[in-house]
Amino acid sequence: MDNYTAPLRDIRFVLEHVTPLSELTSLDDYAHAEPDLVTGLLEEAGRFASEAIAPTNRDGDAQGAAMVDGGVVTPESFKRAYQQYVEAGWGTIQHPAEYGGGAFPLTVANAVKELITSANMAFSLGPLLTTGAVYLLTHHASDEQSQTYLPKMVSGEWSGTMNLTEPQAGSDVGAVTTKATPQGDGTYRITGQKIYITYGDHDLTDNIIHLVLARLPDAPPGTKGISLFIVPKFLVNDDGSLGERNDVEVVSIEHKLGIHASPTCVMAYGEKGEGAIGELVGEPHTGMRGMFTMMNDARLGVGLQGLAIAERAYQQSLAYARDRRQGRAPSSEPGEQAPIVEHADVRRMLLTQKAYIEAIRALCYTNAHALDLAHSSPDPVVREQQQKLADLLTPLSKSWGTDLGVELTSLALQVHGGMGYVEETGVAQHYRDARIAPIYEGTNGIQALDLVGRKLPYDGGAFVKGFLGDLRDRAETVPDSLASIGDGLVDAIGALEQCTDWIFAHSEAPNDVFAGATPYLRMFATVVGGAYLAKGAVAAQAALDAGDTASFDADFLSAKVTIARFYAEQLLPSVHGLVGAITAGAEDLYAVTPGQLAP
């Protein structure tokens, strides 16, 4: 009941019809990522995910990570799987060739990340943080730092972490108090404590490269006074070999609701002496700029986690529904029990999962596709516009993907009935694992504030209005044979445009805007997801009409149309119920005091 099958056809369909890989392979940077090569790579990644990593999910949850003799020990199955992961080079795919990477588009790399994350979310978190750390260092480290750290981080022999949070500074990063004292030789002594550090310590790699936010002695207050430092677990000698242990210790690991095998650590810097030795990345007081490079990469990766865990739970609920017999279906003979997949409400739950999963996948892959074009298009106008698109989509990918990850794993549990609520079937683990994703890398409420406060104002609002205009134009040209999809989209876009105009009209009353930010993000993402499903449905219907079933068979293509229609007719209308919450303002939120809210 806990097997995983890589959804390769669904992924390939998105890469062909929603986020065309051909647009990327026409660029010099990605010319080598031709379709046949990518298809083979994804097939092998799917096999590896299902055969090597998926079997570690249950025992990893049961065993968890543990503190032993002052260090973190991971499950034995993780050690074997991670070694295979490194030997196969799965972590290298998107990184620059000069450091041993495959230089594939992020769009392709994220497809592989989806597969690995579906197989075992707790396992995938280590590579996710390392990828983000590599991305940060690629953009902000000196040449010497890059040559010292990146080759082994790209290969996966060394891992990376993100050290932001402190006990008094959660989402308020400006409250960080960790200190960095210059030593006069180009190094710094780092002292302080960090909490909630994913894979802050473990036994999977030879070294762990911590990226740590800290304050210099002359630092101004707030985020403008934060600098970024490389603090390795083991110091690195001039010849690249590992030297003495740095003054970095794991104090404890958290006992969490889910992702038990992912060590979430409390880290202490400099408790045994003068401080841990660190190297400044970039210029003083520019740490947040560097860290946001890593965080934005991680935010899209976390959105993929919502997709991946929902896909894994969906597959399990579908298998259970096809196998479990209970009750009589309308077509059953008297006294004959039918598989529960024959019951209308179970079908509704399964199709709801499937439709949302396909919409999230299309959104996250489009987000990555925009980042690839922003990085590699030779046209500066295209680069600028695609970067703005990626910036707009990132809070949608992160928040909507992870909110739905929780909701859809809950639906998968519901399909199991009482068996879903016990640990025996394994679906409860997916629900527990999914719950962290809306919290980390900036809570989803913060993502909503980012959307309305930073992303909508691009170009004085012209960019988002142009984006919505493009969505409307495409919706209005949906063929008559798919009229309910086009009509549903046009109506939903109208509601989104109405609410967007309201936000701009109330920009001088930020609390009123912020009060509706979360439902606005939900509306925005739901509409965008529907638009991308419609794009796929149009392509599928065109292939059916032309009899072109060489790449995808008729049953598969017909299902794409049906799923998009179900979304447009039964899920997309939910956006109209969000208008009131978006435009209500903040008056009622502040009309009651905390005392009045108390029992």
Instruction: Parse the chain into domains and list their residue ranges.
Output: 8-155, 158-285, 448-599
For residue 32, pLDDT over 80 is answered with yes
* Structure confidence at residue 334 (pLDDT): 83
Q: What is the pLDDT of residues 549-563, one digit of tens each?
A: 999 999 999 999 999
- The mean pLDDT value of the chain amounts to 96
Tell me how far apart the alpha carbons of residues 300 and 401 are, in angstroms, rounded to a whole number.
Answer: 9
Homologous superfamily of the 8-155 domain (CATH): Acyl-CoA dehydrogenase/oxidase, N-terminal domain (1.10.540.10)
Tell me how far apart the alpha carbons of residues 213 and 136 are, in angstroms, rounded to a whole number.
Answer: 13
- The correct answer on CATH 2.40.110.20 for the domain covering 158-285 is yes
Q: CA neighbours within 13 Å on the CB side: how many for 551?
A: 20
Percent with pLDDT over 90 in the chain: 91
Q: What is the pLDDT of residues 435-477, one digit of tens each?
A: 999 998 889 999 999 999 999 999 999 999 999 999 999 999 9
List, as one string, the DSSP characters of 20-76.
-HHHHHTSGGGTT--HHHHHHHHHHHHHHIIIIITTHHHHHHHH--EEETTEEE--H
For residue 342, pLDDT over 80 is answered with yes
Q: Is there a common fold for 8-155 and 158-285?
A: no
Using CA atoms, how far residue 249 sits from 69, 162, 456, in Å, is: 11, 15, 42
Residue 594 buriedness (CB in 10 A; 0-12 / 13-18 / 19+) = exposed
* Structure confidence at residue 10 (pLDDT): 98
Which token pair is 496? Answer: 């989104």
* Structure confidence at residue 170 (pLDDT): 65
SS3 306: helix
Per-residue burial over 292-318, b if 16 or more Cβ lie within 10 Å, else e, is ebbbbbbbbbbbbbbbbbbbbbbbbbb
Q: What is the pLDDT of residues 172-212, one digit of tens each?
A: 676 788 999 999 999 999 999 999 999 999 999 999 999 99
Whole-prediction pTM:
0.97
For residue 1, pLDDT over 70 is answered with no
Using alpha carbons, select from 412, 513, 543, 401 the residue that is nearest to residue 453.
513
Tell me how far apart the alpha carbons of residues 265 and 49 are, in angstroms, rounded to a whole number.
Answer: 26
CB-based contacts of 47, cutoff 8 Å, min separation 6: 6
Tell me how far apart the alpha carbons of residues 132 and 160 are, in angstroms, rounded to a whole number.
Answer: 8
Q: What is the pLDDT of residues 407-419, one digit of tens each?
A: 999 999 999 999 9
H or E element, residue 581:
helix 579-583
H or E element, residue 190:
strand 187-198
Q: Active-site residues: which are they? A: 441
DSSP state of 452: I
Q: What is the pLDDT of residues 271-325, one digit of tens each?
A: 888 999 999 999 999 998 888 888 888 899 999 999 999 999 999 999 999 999 9
Q: What is the pLDDT of residues 383-403, one digit of tens each?
A: 999 999 999 999 999 999 999
CB-based contacts of 538, cutoff 8 Å, min separation 6: 478, 479, 482
For residue 130, pLDDT over 90 is answered with yes
Between β-strands 242-245 and 179-182, what pairing exists: parallel, antiparallel or unpaired? unpaired
